[in-house]
Every structure is written in structure tokens, then in C-alpha cells.
A and B are shown apart, each in its own frame.
Chain A
């Protein structure tokens, strides 16, 4: 039997800046994972990934990442994806200090 589908979000990096972004219900890309569409249905997730990947002039390499629902919206479940929401741990660089500004 196929494994149960675990909830997902769609994420990628912006074409120009390379910044990590998440795909919203409005087909826009946000620098805040809390704005991401929370995908609980496998077929719908696959369709949304196709739609996300159509935006090739905006971003690079969209993929499905595991997520869970938190108080303010979707959250990561794995440390790799968690780093992408914050930035590196050796400097106060990236999202942890920069205001989220990449809605496109």
C-alpha cells in the first residue's frame, strides 16, 4: 500500500536574488513560509507543483517540502528546511535579520 501523504508546502529560490520563497494560494511567492499554501491532498499538491513550476521566469527549482500547520501558518518539519526560513547560523544574515520583502 502506498504510504500516507504527509502535508507539504511548495518552495523554491527566486531567480534574481536566490532567496528562499514559498508558494501561496494566490500563485505568488512569499519569503515567509507562514504565507505558503498548506497542501494536504497528494493530487492537488502535484497539480500545484506543476503550476508553481510554470513560473520559471520568477524562481528556480520548485519542490514539495514536508510541513506541519502551526499557529500562524505552515511550519517546517526538517532542519534543512528550517535553515532556509532563517539563514545561516554563523552570521546574522538572511531572513533572520532582513524584513521579508519578496512577495512577487
Chain B
């Protein structure tokens, strides 16, 4: 993992000291709220419906056990004993008091963490594949590139007042687990004839106007990455629609000017700035890469694990759903579900965070990841340790075997917390998960992505859910629109709106009807929801959702 150097340490400490002074001046009246608001947002502090919310950056979703312990400490000391992992691999605290936030940031700085650029019109936390460094299908670990981009974008003088926020995501695999096509810029590391380069995707995004990103460069030479990304952001910084915040994101700029014109302008800008990059960035990248060297994987027999699987059906079920192939012999990637049926998606208690930190220390080479799907990953666990790990997860109520299933739902905080929300999303997720658990059918249903947002800004990624749910305010009443056929992977697609929305009381029965209907429609038990949808089209699914309409039409 990356270790802060003296510069990083001094920079973060300085920012904490600055913010402490700013908070003091706001409280004593020297600063007005208009003056203070941009300063607090630069440090990830929002004011929500019931309290302040502090968003802490988890760069590319990577944590060590000491950092996870500190997140637990913050939850316990300054909040109500829990934290909320977000769809951008960060963590949010829902109840801090303004006067405590400088202390929270100081505690974070003790473990090389911060909340810088987790809000505002800046380059936000750079996200990455949560299986980075562990996935069997990986060309290269995306985190060194993500860290390079984090360093480059932090306090970048040209990019502190962008037209709107700007989000980067990086993957090192052909299988996209980082939703790179729905980011302002998505980067995929690839290899051609043993030479490494980058595919650069631009102009993706969800929100009010969902767009799938377009290829800006299909194979960018390694050494050109930083100047090329800088050229791209620079072009948008000049062209971006500052007159209308709904049209300010780069997806609209790309849409309005066309990808060819954007490419021409980026190339032009790139030609100007490329000579100013003298190779220091590549030296830095090599140093960062050395810090992300793989842990010393061990060798051990795995027959005990196989025997335990045979002997314990609950353990077997958990291994079937929550493990992913690891690139090292005898290892597995463990996904810890933060989606217990009926619980709030992405919420972990301080005790649970400490258990996960402890498990990472004992069995996981001291590494943890936060996934954009709001789960926690132990990327490197030897199979011989899985039975012991599972027992400890069970004791901490963290052994839910539902990764990738109907109850592994992404949900934004929605109107239970968020000032922007138009409806609640958490209770809908809770009820759907509880219902499928009661029916005991989610393993029969198979792979299914349900994603819920409580407003059009789409933090819950509903557009790219196989089933997306969007909560809206319709004449003062919560109303939920369903989209179908979205896809967040390398075959990314924006879902199609199914039809009129459903009331809060009717949305869960509608989802149940839809999923049961799919089970009748599928060719065989192996055909997933999204495969059946692609084979049959939207019509039969809409007929299931709106049975009366079909009867009338017949």
C-alpha cells in the first residue's frame, strides 16, 4: 500500500490546521455561512436533513487495518456508532457536530487519511476495481495509477474551480468492476504485444442525463497518461457549461461538441503541455508501484477447507456466493456482505469495522477494500484460513451469503439523510431484501443487480442496475420508477424506463412480481435476469409489471 511521504504528511496536517481555524472563525462569527460553505465542502463536510455529514475519502477503496480501526474510532467517538460505505468507495458519517470535525480530520491524518476533495467542483476521489491486485483476470494493478492521479489532482491549481465535479475510475481488467464507462473519465490498463497502455473513456455519467462513456483514446502510451488526462480536463475546464449546472458535466460537453472534436481539442492541448512533463511523473509512478508490490503469499494445504465445505452447508453457501478467484494459488478474494437482509446497505457498526480490521490483520495480509457496491473486501485470504474467518464473521453478524444476489442492493442514503433526495431509498432496499429472504428464492434467482437512488442524481447507480429504482416526489408523495436492462460492466448500458411509477406501498410487490415473472420466462435456471431481458426485450417484463394494461390492450 502507498505510504505517505513527508510532503503528503505535511500537506494533510496543514489542511487540518487550516480547517480548524476556519471552523473556529465560523463559530465565533468572523466567517459568514456564505464564506464558510465552500471551505467546509472542500473538506467533505455537508449539512444534510438532520445533521452534518462528513465524507471521508478512501482512495481507490483501499484501507489497511489501522485505517479501518480509525474509521471505527470515529464512528464511536463522534457519531452514533456506525458509518456508511458509499458507491464511490468512501465512508460517510451522518451525525458529527461541527466543532468535532477538525478533531475527526486530525485523527484521520494520524492514519494517512483525509476528506479533501470529497465534495465541490474538483476532481473527486479516484476509484478503482475493488479486486485490484488480487483478481485472476488482471493485466495490472490499477491502484498505482489511481494513486498517481490522486497526487496529481489533489490541490491541482488549474482544477480547483471546475465547471462541476469530476470523477475518475481505473481498472486493470477486461471485466469492468469499477463502472469506468459511467465516469467522467474511465481508464483501463491493457496490454498489446506485451506493451502496456491505457484505454481512455470519456463522457460517461449517470444523473439527470445518463450517458455511456466514449473511447477518447484506444491505446495511450504509458508515459502519456498524466499529460493526456490533464489535457482532457483542461479542455473541459474551458468548454464546460458554467452557465447551467445541469449541463456542466463533461458528458454534456462531449455530447454537444462530439467525440471527434473533443479528441481534436485534447490532442491540440496535449501537444502544448506534453513537453512540460519531463518524466518525473513516471519516476513517481515507479516508486508508487513498488509500494503496491503483492504481499508474500503463503503456501498451505487446502484439503481442510474442502472438507469443511462438504461438512457445513451454510459455509458452502457462503463460499459459493462470497468468494472470487484469486490470482495466487490457494488464495481467494473474500467479499464481506454489508447487506444483511433488512439492514441498511453499506452501514457497518464500529464493532464490525474492528472485527474486519482484525480479520485483515490475522488472515488478509492487512488489506481491506471498499467496493462501489457498498461491501467490504478482504482481497488476499488463503483458503486454509477461510473456516476460521467465516466463524468470526458469523459471530460479528457479517456472514450473509448474498454477494451478487437480489438482496445485495446498492442504495443511496435517500431522504432518510440527504438534503437533495426526493424520496427514501433505504427502506425500499430493506423491504426488498427482507421479502426475498422470506421467499427463500434468491439463490434460485441467481445473479441480479438491483440499484436504488433517492433522486435523479443517481448516487445509487439505478440506471445501470439490471433493475433500477428511482425515488421521486410526485405531488408530495413518494413514487418509484423502475428501469430495466441496465448494466454496469464492460458491456455497460443505461436501463430503459418501464412505465409509470409505483407508490411506496406497491414498489416491493412490483419488484417481487417482476423477479418471479423472470423465473417463469427464463430458458433455464442458468439464464440470468439480464440475459433473459436481452433475449426477450422489455415487453414481457413490462407486461408483468403492468398486468392490467396488458389485459386492456388484449
Chain A residues 56-104 with CB under 8 Å of chain B are 56-57, 60-61, 77-80, 83-84, 87-91, 93-95
Rounded to whole Å, the gap between the CB of B434 and the closest CB of chain A is 13
- Are A61 and B47 in touch, CB under 8 angstroms? yes
- Are A79 and B477 in touch, CB under 8 angstroms? yes
Given the interface pairs A57-B29, A60-B47, the reply to whether A93 lies near B95 with Cβ below 8 Å is: yes
- Are A18 and B27 in touch, CB under 8 angstroms? no
Query: Which A residue's beta carbon lies closest to that of B421?
Result: A80
- Are B98 and A90 in touch, CB under 8 angstroms? no
Query: Which residues of B sit under 8 angstroms from A78, Cβ to Cβ?
Result: 476
Q: Mark A7-20, 1 if CB is under 8 A from B, else 0.
A: 00000010111111
- Are B33 and A89 in touch, CB under 8 angstroms? no
Query: Which A residue's beta carbon lies closest to that of B416?
Result: A88
Contact for A60 among B33, B80, B427, CB less than 8 A: B33
Once bound together, how far apart are the Cα atoms of A95 and B26, in whole Å? 25
Rounded to whole Å, the gap between the CB of B505 and the closest CB of chain A is 14
Query: Which B residue's beta carbon lies closest to that of A59?
Result: B33
Once bound together, how far apart are the Cα atoms of A77 and B95, in whole Å? 26
- Are B26 and A15 in touch, CB under 8 angstroms? yes
Once bound together, how far apart are the Cα atoms of A94 and B27, in whole Å? 23
- B478 contacts the other chain (CB 8 A): yes
Q: Mark A25-62, 1 if CB is under 8 A from B, else 0.
A: 00000000000000000000000000000001100110
Query: Which residues of B sit under 8 angstroms from A61, Cβ to Cβ?
Result: 33, 47
Query: Which residues of A sit under 8 angstroms from B97, Cβ to Cβ?
Result: 16-18
- B417 contacts the other chain (CB 8 A): yes
Query: Which residues of A sit under 8 angstroms from B387, Cβ to Cβ?
Result: none
- Are B50 and A15 in touch, CB under 8 angstroms? no
Rounded to whole Å, the gap between the CB of A73 and the closest CB of chain B is 20
Counting chain A CB atoms within 10 Å of each CB, which of B49, B98, B99, B473 scores highest? B49
Given the interface pairs A78-B476, A79-B477, the reply to whether A18 lies near B415 with Cβ below 8 Å is: no
Once bound together, how far apart are the Cα atoms of A75 and B518, in whole Å? 44
Rounded to whole Å, the gap between the CB of A61 and the closest CB of chain B is 7
Given the interface pairs A18-B98, A61-B33, the reply to whether A13 lies near B80 with Cβ below 8 Å is: no
Chain B residues 103-133 with CB under 8 Å of chain A are none
Contact for B416 among A19, A60, A89, CB less than 8 A: A89
Once bound together, how far apart are the Cα atoms of A83 and B426, in whole Å? 14
Once bound together, how far apart are the Cα atoms of A20 and B539, in whole Å? 46
Query: Which residues of B sit under 8 angstroms from A93, Cβ to Cβ?
Result: 50, 80, 95
- Are B50 and A94 in touch, CB under 8 angstroms? yes
Query: Which residues of A sit under 8 angstroms from B424, Cβ to Cβ?
Result: 89
How many chain B residues have a CB neighbour from A under 8 Å? 31
Interface size class of A (residues with CB under 8 A): 20 to 34
- Are B51 and A18 in touch, CB under 8 angstroms? yes
Counting chain A CB atoms within 10 Å of each CB, which of B49, B50, B98, B347 scores highest? B50
Once bound together, how far apart are the Cα atoms of A18 and B419, in whole Å? 12
- B48 contacts the other chain (CB 8 A): yes
Query: Which B residue's beta carbon lies closest to that of A16?
Result: B98
Once bound together, how far apart are the Cα atoms of A50 and B203, in whole Å? 43
Query: Which residues of A sit under 8 angstroms from B26, Cβ to Cβ?
Result: 15
Given the interface pairs A79-B476, A80-B415, A93-B80, the reply to whether A15 lies near B95 with Cβ below 8 Å is: no
Given the interface pairs A18-B51, A56-B32, A90-B426, the reply to whether A83 lies near B416 with Cβ below 8 Å is: yes
Rounded to whole Å, the gap between the CB of A82 and the closest CB of chain B is 10
Once bound together, how far apart are the Cα atoms of A87 and B33, in whole Å? 24
Query: Which residues of A sit under 8 angstroms from B27, Cβ to Cβ?
Result: 15-16, 57
Once bound together, how far apart are the Cα atoms of A90 and B430, in whole Å? 9
Query: Which residues of B sit under 8 angstroms from A60, Cβ to Cβ?
Result: 33, 47
Rounded to whole Å, the gap between the CB of A66 and the closest CB of chain B is 9
Query: Which residues of A sit under 8 angstroms from B50, Cβ to Cβ?
Result: 18-20, 83-84, 87-88, 93-95
Once bound together, how far apart are the Cα atoms of A90 and B99, in whole Å? 26
- Are B48 and A90 in touch, CB under 8 angstroms? no
Once bound together, how far apart are the Cα atoms of A56 and B49, in whole Å? 18
Once bound together, how far apart are the Cα atoms of A75 and B47, in whole Å? 23
Once bound together, how far apart are the Cα atoms of A61 and B37, in whole Å? 11
Given the interface pairs A57-B29, A61-B33, A93-B80, the reply to whether A20 lies near B416 with Cβ below 8 Å is: no
Once bound together, how far apart are the Cα atoms of A94 and B51, in whole Å? 9
Once bound together, how far apart are the Cα atoms of A79 and B424, in whole Å? 10
Given the interface pairs A19-B51, A83-B416, the reply to whether A90 lies near B476 with Cβ below 8 Å is: no
Query: Which residues of A sit under 8 angstroms from B347, Cβ to Cβ?
Result: 90
Once bound together, how far apart are the Cα atoms of A74 and B94, in whole Å? 27
Query: Which residues of A sit under 8 angstroms from B98, Cβ to Cβ?
Result: 15-18
Once bound together, how far apart are the Cα atoms of A91 and B50, in whole Å? 13
Query: Which residues of B sit under 8 angstroms from A87, Cβ to Cβ?
Result: 50
Rounded to whole Å, the gap between the CB of B183 and the closest CB of chain A is 29
Query: Which residues of A sit under 8 angstroms from B478, Cβ to Cβ?
Result: 79
- Are A18 and B48 in touch, CB under 8 angstroms? yes
Query: Which B residue's beta carbon lies closest to that of A60?
Result: B33
- Are A90 and B49 in touch, CB under 8 angstroms? no
Q: Mark B411-436, 1 if CB is under 8 A from A, else 0.
A: 00001110001001011001000000
Rounded to whole Å, the gap between the CB of A89 and the closest CB of chain B is 5
Contact for B80 among A77, A79, A89, A91, CB less than 8 A: A91
Q: List 20 A-B contacts (CB under 8 A).
A: A13-B51, A15-B26, A15-B27, A17-B98, A19-B51, A20-B49, A56-B29, A56-B33, A60-B47, A61-B33, A80-B473, A83-B49, A83-B50, A83-B415, A88-B94, A88-B416, A90-B416, A90-B427, A93-B50, A95-B50
**Which 8 A/B pairs are nearest by Cβ-Cβ distance?**
A88-B416, A18-B51, A18-B52, A57-B29, A90-B426, A90-B344, A94-B50, A16-B98
Q: Which B residues are within 8 Å of any A CB, using their own CB?
A: 26-27, 29, 32-33, 47-52, 80, 94-95, 97-99, 344, 347, 415-417, 421, 424, 426-427, 430, 473, 476-478
Known: A60-B47, A80-B421, A90-B426. 12 other contacts (CB 8 A): A18-B51, A56-B33, A57-B29, A61-B47, A78-B476, A80-B415, A83-B50, A83-B416, A88-B50, A93-B50, A93-B95, A94-B50
